[in-house]
């Protein structure tokens, strides 16, 4: 294939048509607006909003972040304006974007997931709903659902009943067997699965002899977790038959390709955006270059091409 030839990066994931398979991960791109000076949002396949909850949340006491070898810990605690604050202040900007917007939600009870879903569905223009049953930094909801196959299924089936939009379950790696949770959410009606959320971690200030994070523990992200994420993706790929959205430490085109080859239909760039706000757009460009050099006309053909 000559350099001049266009490579087809587009894909269709769980019924969502994406210009390319590179999404911005929830919690690392705010509600889009803050990134605009550095990244043309139309260049990425989609943006997944920071988690919204039924009511506004203040988040955890600082310090909330600390750098660790090849990554970082965060314990933000889902600071967000709440569902109505989102609708009033964040959605007007998001609704104008020329990229797909997936709204990420979490709630303290199963029922509230349903109520939030109905409200978001009614906005019109939302591409899909990602359900955060995997946040490690809050006392109710989040990972408490995501660690238990039955509770995970209850949340997803409730969301499913309230919308025809694609429903994506975001899974935690902090479980004994992630494939068990993956199967239960797919059985409950999830159209796709995102994996992985952060790994629970901790750092200590040896002078003060205290945990560095206000929340004591936090979620580990960044390149440090990439091999863990890939292994979990590989396991889940064999366990369920829905599209997978891979994330966990993806910082480069090489990383993105590893996830796509292992079986992710799309990938999410998260912590890398903190370091380089244009990282996701660089990866999109890099995927095109890779395909041109390798003579691949459609990037989608690469998905799941891992040889045994």
Partner 1 sequence: MEETTKDLEGVVFSHEEVADGFRFLQIRIDGHLPCARPGQFVQIRPSRTTTTPFLRMPLSVSHVDRVGSTFGVLYDVVGPKTRALSDMNEGDRIDCLGPLGNPFPDVPDDARPVLVGGGIGVPPLLHLGTHLRSTGMDPILIVGARTAGKHLPLELLSPASEHVRLATDDGSLGHHGFVTDLLAQALKEEDKPVVYTCGPHPMMAAVASATESADVRCYSSLEEYMACGFGVCVGCVVERRTQANSPYDQFTRVCVDGPVYDATEIVW
Q: How far is the CB of 65 from partner 1 (least distance, A)?
A: 4
Q: Does 92 bind partner 1 (CB under 8 A)?
A: no
29 given a catalytic annotation = no
Quick one: which of 117, 132, 251, 253 contacts partner 1 (CB under 8 A)?
251
Identity of the residue, 135 or 155, whose beta carbon is nearer to partner 1 in the bound complex? 135
List the one residue out of 247, 252, 262 whose CA is nearest residue 287. Answer: 252
Burial pattern 171-189, b for ≥16 Cβ within 10 A else e, equals bbbbbeebbebbbbbbebe
Closer residue to partner 1 in complex, CB, 278/286: 278
Pick the closer one to partner 1 by CB: 135 or 188: 135
Q: Is 54 in the site for partner 1 (CB under 8 A)?
A: no
Q: Which is nearer to partner 1, 182 or 269 (CB)?
A: 269
Region of 1-9, 66-74, 100-108, 191-199 interacting with partner 1 (CB under 8 A): 66-74
Question: Per rule CB under 8 A, is residue 62 in the interface with partner 1?
Answer: yes
- 57 interacts with partner 1 by CB under 8 A: yes
* Among the listed residues 8, 43, 82, 108, the single contact to partner 1 using CB under 8 A: 82
Nearer to partner 1, 31 or 145 (CB): 31
Nearest approach, Cβ of residue 152 and partner 1 (Å): 26
20 to 49, contacts with partner 1 by CB under 8 A?
27-30, 34-35, 37-38
Exactly one of 6, 70, 96, 305 binds partner 1 (CB under 8 A); which one? 70
Residues in the chain: 308
What are the catalytic residues?
135
Binding footprint of partner 1 on the chain (CB under 8 A): 27-30, 34-35, 37-38, 50, 55-59, 61-67, 69-72, 74, 76, 79-82, 85, 222-224, 251-252, 271, 273-278
């Amino acid at each position: 294939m000559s350099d001049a030839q266009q490579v087809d990066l587009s894909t269709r994931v769980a019924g969502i048509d994406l210009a390319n398979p590179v999404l911005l991960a929830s919690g690392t791109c705010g509600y889009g607006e803050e990134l605009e000076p550095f990244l043309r949002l139309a260049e990425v396949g989609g943006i997944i909003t920071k988690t919204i909850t039924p009511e506004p949340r203040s988040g955890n006491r600082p310090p909330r972040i600390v750098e660790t070898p090849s990554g970082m810990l965060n314990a933000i605690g889902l600071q967000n304006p709440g569902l109505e604050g989102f609708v009033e202040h964040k959605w007007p900007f998001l609704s104008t974007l020329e990229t797909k917007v997936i709204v990420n939600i979490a709630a303290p009870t199963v029922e509230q997931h349903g109520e939030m879903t109905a409200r978001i569905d009614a906005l019109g223009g939302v591409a899909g709903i990602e359900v955060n049953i995997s946040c490690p930094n809050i006392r109710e909801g989040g990972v408490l659902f995501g660690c238990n196959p039955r509770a995970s299924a209850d949340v997803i089936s409730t969301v499913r009943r309230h919308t025809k939009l694609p429903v994506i379950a975001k899974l935690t790696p902090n479980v004994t067997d992630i494939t068990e949770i993956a199967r239960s959410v797919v059985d409950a009606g999830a159209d796709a699965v995102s994996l992985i959320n952060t790994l629970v971690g901790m750092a200590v200030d040896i002078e003060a002899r205290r945990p560095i994070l206000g929340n004591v523990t936090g979620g580990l992200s960044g390149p440090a977790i990439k091999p863990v994420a890939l292994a979990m993706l590989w396991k889940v790929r064999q366990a369920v038959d829905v599209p997978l959205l891979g994330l966990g430490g993806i910082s480069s085109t090489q990383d993105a390709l590893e996830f796509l080859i292992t079986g992710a239909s799309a990938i999410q760039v998260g912590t890398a955006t903190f370091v380089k706000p244009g990282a996701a757009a660089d990866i999109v460009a890099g995927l095109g270059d890779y395909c041109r050099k390798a003579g691949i006309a459609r990037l989608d053909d690469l998905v799941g091409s891992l040889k045994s």
